[in-house]
Amino acid sequence: MEELDWVPVRVGEIDILATAQMPQPVEGPGPVLVLVRVHSRPVDVVSLDLGPGETVEDHRGRLLARHAEAVARHVARFGCDGPSPDGEPSCVRQRRERLSAAPPVSVVVATHDRPDLLRRCLDSLLDQDHPALEIVVVDNARSTDATERMVAAEFAGRSVRYVREDVAGLARAHNAGLAHVSGSVVAITDDDVVADRYWTAALCEAFADEGAGCVTGLILPAELRTRAQSWVEQYGGFARGFERRVYSLDRPPAGDPLFPFSPGRLGSGANMAFDRALLERVGGFDPALGAGTKARGGDDLAAFTRTLLEGETLVYQPDAVVHHHHHSDYAALRRMAQGYGVGLGAYLASMIAAHPGVAADLLRRVPAGVLHLISPRSEKNRNIRADYPRQLVRDERLGLLRGPVSYVASRRSVSAADRAARA
């Protein structure tokens, strides 16, 4: 696709109530996508066009005025309109005090032949503001030993455990990781993300506040170097807003004809955490779903729906932030769109297979759900600009039609792999 008229957008951030600048401030000229925080908690993403020599910090006053309401809500919630006597905002002190009693967290990261991306991810996880954290790396269907060598050489003795799962499949890899965790909260992310320092702390906060079975978080772009990466953000992206939302069967969202079979509005598999006891009760993740299988996705959606069908609460927690490295070229973006469509169709088929009692209800809701999906007024479609390739929309919708057949084929492959393992 044509890139000659594309201007890369840099990614930065600012804490509008902090007394010091964020590290490595972005300097102009050019466009910048800025994460706005209030005492480390995200409240918005704004676009700025910096002039020569200008930094995001030069816009602090304007951003503070623009987000006065968010600041007021923060003050009302935490009682901290400025630093406390010891120089630390009271909200930060409260979080640290709560962390002293937080449950141990295990983070599972599945990876496939991407040691450089994984290294960056692990560095961010080891920098978490959490006192009890272990990391389990699952090397899935590897073709080289580069990941194993990298983990052994650079992360030995640093609360990082290496596990192999030779059969391809993201859900299968996550299940392999679950067999080696010890934390009562299991957080899951991808190897192509960088986790915010307060990621696991914010996840634990939502578990404690809401008695959640599952918590998802905010996924922001790590970079927007290419037009393809900007298209990911246009067509829904991964972010789900800056307000905490709590969902359960008796607290359904308004205007969602597919609920509880459309929990993707609450998050994505790159940023999710579960009560470990819940995962064990439902048998982990469906191994016939996920990247690396014929189903190509849907493992996270199925896990979210099972959380709700088990009578548990699912929470979207925007304070739990990770930064995702989107696909940077158009060919990869097409594969992603196709995979999302196939995964969504496979997920719906998996719900019918796993929960026959809900099949009639699900099928009754599907027509309205499809109309909502393709409507120009839907949340996903109304942000699309004129330069967005409609081929990506067609790829996703055609994939959706293939999804149920792909799920059946994937289940057969999983059964064959299990029989071979037992032989």
Q: Is the Cβ–Cβ distance between 340 and 399 less than 8 Å?
A: yes
Buried b (16+ CB within 10 A) or exposed e, 55-67: bbeebbeebbeeb
C-alpha torsion 341→273→190→269, nearest 10: 0
Q: In this structure, is the dihedral angle defined by the CA atoms of residues 252, 254, 260 and 265, taken in order, positive or negative? A: negative
Q: If pLDDT is split at 50, 70 and 90, which confidence band does 362 have? A: confident
C-alpha torsion 12→18→20→22, nearest 10: -20
Q: What is the CATH number of the domain that holds 334?
A: 3.90.550.10
Give residue for tokens 């919708």.
Answer: 397
**Is the pLDDT reported for residue 3 higher than 60?**
no
Do 265 and 351 have their domain in common? yes
CA-to-CA separations, 158 to 7, 123, 127, 218, 391, in angstroms, rounded: 40, 10, 11, 27, 45
Looking at every residue in the chain, the average pLDDT score rounds to 90
Do 242 and 384 have their domain in common? yes
Where does a domain end: 98, 114, 131?
A: 98
Q: Residue 305 — φ and ψ, nearest 5°?
A: -65, -40
Q: In this structure, is the dihedral angle defined by the CA atoms of residues 286, 136, 317 and 192, taken in order, positive or negative? A: negative
Q: Say which amino acid occupies 219.
A: I
Quick one: how far is CA 150 from the chain centroid? Answer: 25
Do 208 and 110 have their domain in common? yes
What value does the mean pLDDT take over residues 88-112?
A: 90
Neighbours of 122 (CB within 10 A): 25
203 or 382, greater pLDDT: 203
Q: If pLDDT is split at 50, 70 and 90, which confidence band does 142 have? A: very high
Does the model's pTM come out above 0.75? yes
- What's the pLDDT score for residue 26? 85
Do 22 and 171 have their domain in common? no
- What's the pLDDT score for residue 20? 63
What value does the mean pLDDT take over residues 366-387?
A: 65
Q: If pLDDT is split at 50, 70 and 90, which confidence band does 83 have? A: low
Distance CA 381, CA 377 (A): 6
Domain for residue 3, yes or no? no
What value does the mean pLDDT take over residues 395-411?
A: 95
Do 92 and 107 have their domain in common? no
Q: Is the Cβ–Cβ distance between 297 and 346 less than 8 Å?
A: yes
Q: Residue 255 — φ and ψ, nearest 5°?
A: 70, 25
Distance CA 55, CA 21 (A): 10
What value does the mean pLDDT take over residues 190-219?
A: 96
Q: How many domains does the chain have?
A: 2
Query: Residue 386: is it exposed, middle or buried by C-beta count within 10 angstroms (0-12/13-18/19+)?
Result: exposed
Distance CA 392, CA 396 (A): 6
Domain for residue 250, yes or no? yes
Q: If pLDDT is split at 50, 70 and 90, which confidence band does 1 have? A: very low
The token duo for 265 is 């509005």
334 or 92, greater pLDDT: 334
Model pLDDT for residues 245-288, shown as the tens digit of each residue:
999 999 988 877 788 887 667 889 999 999 999 999 999 999 99
Domain for residue 355, yes or no? yes
For 394, the enclosing helix (H) or strand (E) is helix 390-422
**Is the pLDDT reported for residue 237 higher than 70?**
no
Packed helices 90-99 and 199-210: angle between N→C axes, nearest 10 degrees: 80
Do 231 and 362 have their domain in common? yes
Domain that holds residue 29: 10-98
Do 179 and 76 have their domain in common? no
- What's the pLDDT score for residue 18? 81
**Is the pLDDT reported for residue 381 higher than 70?**
no
Do 49 and 141 have their domain in common? no
Do 181 and 236 have their domain in common? yes
127 or 238, greater pLDDT: 127
19 or 405, greater pLDDT: 405
Where does a domain end: 67, 98, 129?
A: 98
Do 227 and 331 have their domain in common? yes
320 or 22, greater pLDDT: 320
Domain for residue 345, yes or no? yes
Q: E-assigned strands of 96-192?
A: 105-111, 133-140, 160-165, 185-190
Domain for residue 228, yes or no? yes
Do 171 and 109 have their domain in common? yes
Q: Who contacts 250 (Cβ-Cβ below 8 Å, separation ≥6)?
A: none
Neighbours of 311 (CB within 10 A): 10
**Is the pLDDT reported for residue 335 higher than 80?**
yes
List the single range of 2-11, 271-280, 386-395 with lowest mean pLDDT: 2-11
Domain for residue 2, yes or no? no
Domain for residue 372, yes or no? yes
Packed helices 146-154 and 115-125: angle between N→C axes, nearest 10 degrees: 30
Do 249 and 342 have their domain in common? yes
- What's the pLDDT score for residue 264? 67
240 or 238, greater pLDDT: 240
Choose among 57, 52, 67: nearest CA to 13: 57
What value does the mean pLDDT take over residues 352-378?
A: 74
Instruction: Find the radius of gyration of the CA atoms of the chain.
Output: 21
Domain for residue 1, yes or no? no
**DSSP assignment of 372-384:** HHH-TTSTTTTT-
Model pLDDT for residues 31-61, shown as the tens digit of each residue:
999 999 999 999 999 999 999 999 999 999 9
Where does a domain end: 98, 121, 142?
A: 98
